[in-house]
A = this chain, B = another copy of it.
Amino acid sequence: ERVTLDLDRQRRCGFPEVIYGDGKPAQMIAAIIQSQQAAGQPSLATRVAPEVAEQVQTQIPTARYNPVARTLTAGVADAAPPSPIPKTQDAVSPDAGLIKHVAVVTAGSTDAPVAEEAIETLHWMGIRFRQFDDIGVAGPARLLAAVPHLRQAAAVVVIAGMEGALPAAVGGHLSVPVFAVPTSVGYGATLGGLTAMLGMLSSCASNVAVVNIDAGFKAAYLAGLVVRQLERST
């Protein structure tokens, strides 16, 4: 009764309302998914604790839980877990028939949960992706090796904690929007991700936009919208 679902969002925004799982009891999440299923809309719930997910799955057995991403999905077109475009499938020119996709990049291996949330979001949207993990700026060869692949993406999600320097370094090589996600990885002066967030907002690269700390969902959603619009226009 406390819920006023926005079923019209799919018409207005292209995708249904996403369920913000944090603080919601399992029965509320299950009820929302059921309403969305009745309306023929795929469901994505973020920030769902494992024990809550389990309870939801009792009611909705088809719901899939990703314990790293802490996401629940149900009614998604491709029922399998998300899988990236292989890097062997590359094509040199970004215009030559390459699959339109999003690149998801992390600075450190500890940023993995945020990357998983991004990937689950793209999968729910039906958008293809590639992954580039642990390529932070202190080991410069790693980014340089990835650049030729990164230049084939239609939009890039860059996930980084600590000082958040990676989006600027990535952005300087590319001609597409970079959606930067600061993470809460680090201690002391990282201020729980605020330092990375402020750094990304202050970036000297022109093509870097920022979303909330740990908001893998949001950056992926925005990158997915860029790809979807490209797909529609061709």
Which residues of A does B touch, CB under 8 Å?
1-6, 8-9, 12-15, 17-18, 20, 22-24, 28, 47, 95, 106-110, 112, 133-142, 144, 154, 162-165, 168-169, 171-177, 179, 182, 184-215, 217-219, 221-222, 225-226, 228-230, 232-234
Highest count of chain B CB atoms <10 Å: which of A179, A182, A225? A225
Q: Which residues on B sit within 8 Å (CB–CB) of A185? A: 22-23
User: CB-nearest residue of chain B relative to A214?
Assistant: B188
Q: How far is the CA of A107 from the CA of B202 in the complex (A)?
A: 13
Copies of this polypeptide in the complex:
8
A140 to B141 Cα, complex, angstroms: 12
Complex CA gap A182/B179 in Å reads 17
Q: Cβ of B6 and Cβ of A138 under 8 Å apart?
A: yes
A229: contacting residue among B23, B138, B144, B154, CB under 8 A: B154
How far does the alpha carbon of A102 sit from the alpha carbon of B199 in the complex, in Å?
A: 26
* Separation of A95 and B176 alpha carbons in the complex (Å): 22
Q: CA–CA, A163 to B119, complex, Å?
A: 25
Which chain B residue shows the least CB distance to A8?
A: B141
Contact B207 A210 (CB under 8 A): no
